[in-house]
């Protein structure tokens, strides 16, 4: 996994922890400082092929991180 892939992976994990749902590709791009959403799509596809995340094609906000279960704590 490259440093950029790891940065994307960590952003996804942190976003889900904070918000209780997965980020959009645009939110990932903004969060990691990338202009092209297509670049994020490539990274997400790579992370999925590595078995780090799962997605459901053509359905927004369906990224899940393999091995993690999240519960948003309400105050």
Which pLDDT belongs to residue 70?
A: 67
**Which DSSP string corresponds to the chain?**
--HHHHHHHHHHHHHHHHHSSPPPHHHHHHHHT-S-HHHHHHHHHHHHHTTSEE--TT-TT--EETT----PPP-
Which pLDDT belongs to residue 49?
A: 97
Spatial separation of the C-alpha atoms in residues 69 and 34, rounded to whole Å = 27
Q: Give the pTM.
A: 0.88
Q: For each of the chain's 75 residues, which pLDDT tens digit applies?
A: 999 999 999 999 999 999 989 999 999 999 999 999 999 999 999 999 999 999 998 888 889 999 887 666 666
Spatial separation of the C-alpha atoms in residues 41 and 22, rounded to whole Å = 14
Which pLDDT belongs to residue 59?
A: 84
Non-local CB neighbours of 13 within 8 Å, separated by 6+ positions: 65, 68
């Amino acid at each position: 996994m490259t440093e950029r892939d790891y940065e994307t992976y960590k952003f996804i994990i942190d976003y889900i922890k904070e918000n209780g749902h997965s980020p959009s590709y645009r939110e990932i791009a903004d969060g990691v400082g990338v202009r092209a959403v297509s670049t994020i799509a490539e990274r997400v596809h790579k992370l999925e092929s590595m078995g780090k995340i799962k997605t459901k094609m053509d359905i927004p906000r369906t990224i899940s991180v393999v091995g993690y279960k999240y519960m948003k704590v309400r105050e």
